[in-house]
Amino acid sequence: MLHGGGSNAVSAIMVVYFFALTVVAPLLEFLMLAVDAFSSRSGRIARRARMCAGWAHSFGCLDVLFIVVGALVLELHTVVKFNIGDECEPFGSVMGDKTLLRLAGLGFAASTSCFDPRPSLACGSAAVLGAVALRWAAWRAHKAMHGVQKDD
């Protein structure tokens, strides 16, 4: 679906959703918790900030993103083996023949394995983990300061 006609529009929508759920919602949640922390406890602004923070917490997918990325890094070989399976066996002799691949202009593609991804976590994963930890700490501090209370 993403590679067919109209894929640019679908891809753009997916990017907007991804950005909203992993960046905007967690930042809005943190901002609303800060507004609640620095406003009077029973004021109208504090109640609305708590409500918005709870809403953003429900939609913020930063922790889910981190779990999915971790699972992907650890289990990508299993997923690839399941999806590709034995479909690479007929191409094994061609993939190992560097001379033939050089003639076709694909000398860089010579490999003894069909598809061997090597996933790893980069420095951005530390930032995401830090954001998840700060999000957890902000809610713990909020509950410690205000206790669990019902909104009117």
Average pLDDT, the chain: 78
**pLDDT tens digit sequence for 23-47:** 888 888 889 888 888 887 678 888 8
Place of tokens 């950005």: 19
Q: What is the pTM of this model?
A: 0.56
- Predicted confidence at residue 145, as pLDDT, reads 75
Report, as an integer, the average pLDDT of 130-142.
83
Which is higher by pLDDT, 33 or 94?
33
Burial of 36 (0-12, 13-18, 19+ CB in 10 A): buried
Sign of CA dihedral 129, 131, 134, 135: negative
- Predicted confidence at residue 4, as pLDDT, reads 52
Which residues 6+ apart lie within 8 Å of 91 measured at CB? 114
